[in-house]
Amino acid sequence: MAENEQAEGADGADAAQSKKGKLKLIIAVAGFVAILGAGAGWFFLLRGHGEEKHAEAPPPKPPSYVEVPDMMVNLVGAPGERVQYLRVKVVLEIKEEKQVEAIKPNLPRVTDLFQTYLRELRPSDINGSAGLFRLKEELTKRVNSAVAPQQVSAVLFKEIMVQ
């Protein structure tokens, strides 16, 4: 029986040593993976900063502009109030130069749409920056419907005067 206990004791010591060996192996592998991960992260994050030259996109083309004839309209007022007039100078912003020639023949239609819309306005409709922003958006929408399929980027005010 003593021999049997000695054999079991030797097997237990080998098992404890093999568990310690496996633990050391796992810790070493985990450390190696952590070092590899840190190195790979450093490589991907810091590699080539300032060394690579990126392909430069061509500079954007400046927009083109089309002048709309000056307009002067009377604003809608309550009966008995003095008549107020609105004088507007407008420019159309167009993304591409080649669209300018396609839009110019439609300027009489654009002027007509602007005139009919502006004649319906009241002085309170164009008060403040919010009123002017709404006016600009509405004019942009109307000009785009008149020059379709061409597209106008924005309507820009050169001058607005209410008398």
Strand partners, 160: 88
Condensed to tens digits (0 to 9), the pLDDT of residues 62-112 reads: 899 999 999 999 988 878 888 889 999 999 999 888 888 989 999 999 999
Report pLDDT for 116.
Answer: 93
Mean pLDDT value of segment 123-145:
91
Check whether 148 has a pLDDT greater than 90: no
Condensed to tens digits (0 to 9), the pLDDT of residues 21-44 reads: 788 888 888 888 888 777 777 777
State the SS3 of the chain.
CHHHHHHHHHHHHHHHHHHHHHHHHHHHHHHHHHHHHHHHHHHHHHCCCCCCCCCCCCCCCCCEEEEEEEEEEECCCCCCCCCCEEEEEEEEEECCHHHHHHHHHHHHHHHHHHHHHHCCCCHHHHCHHHHHHHHHHHHHHHHHHHHCCCCCCEEEEEEEEEC
Between these two residues, 123 and 16, which has the higher pLDDT value? 123
